[in-house]
Structure 1
Amino acid sequence: MRIVPFDGHDSDAIVELITTIQIAEFGVATSAEQQPDLRRIPEFYQQGAGNFWLAFEDGELVGTIALKDVGGGICALRKMFVKQAFRGRERGIAATLMRTLLDHARERGVREIYLGTVDVYHAAHRFYEKSGFTEIAREEVPDLVPLMDVDVKYYRHRF
């Protein structure tokens, strides 16, 4: 497995990976058009303490994770997805993506990371909690943190 920051990679492959998991696998009411950030990764994510990482297994894109800097030492965790066939503790792809993001954030002085998620990602909820995130009320998420209309659960990680 290889984790690398986005650097001109194929945005079509990224959109395909993410929307296939969201829509086909979990039935989330979204679309590629509702996520224009996926076509503007450098401008949207790779600013300040932010970044966007890709996980590859034998040259195949199998996962993504993003950190969006919203200012004041606050970031949003976004776009964490791993292809179904590559999930699980034995492969460790999700854990390596999360460790990469958290290490990067810590090194850059980020104080808090927030995320929003949908109700159907039950395994992801457990994973976030094991990774040090605590569930919080929507009202506790700063207004600058970008969320999706379909988000119904919210988490915070403090350093």
Structure 2
Amino acid sequence: MRVDDPVKLEKSKKENEEKTAGPNWYNMPATAITPEIKRDLQMIKLRNVLDPHKHFKGDDWKGKIPKYFQMGTVIEGPTEFYSARMNKKDRKKSIVDEILSSSGSKSRFKKKYEEIQARKRSGKKEFYKKVKDKRKKGKF
């Protein structure tokens, strides 16, 4: 007859539970977080900034990256028409690459970046240079 230590059993059970999301989530394993996955998750978190006209439901991450999640690729069904599908050359490896490749978002990001840079320069050397130029022209 063999008697197992209940403390050891409980400890091993807890370790197994931490490795997966549990039976309610079909024992989904914890995903190893690489820099690419981390960047994709940040893009998902900041999707409100990407398109200000769309409204997304807020996330409940509370500043932490989720431990249990899965990422995949969308595969078109055989019933979808070829014209509705995405071309292979338009498909990118990650969400970040896909967002940066679209021309609409590129122009918006560039415009926003220039606005931020103009605000940052307003009180420093650039502002003083403008004042000096106005003095030289006699307009100040």
Q: TM-score scaled by structure 1? A: 0.21
Q: Larger radius of gyration, structure 1 or 2? A: 2
Q: Is the helix fraction higher in 1 or 2? A: 2
TM-score (norm 2): 0.23
Q: Considering fraction of residues, name the structure with more strand.
A: 1
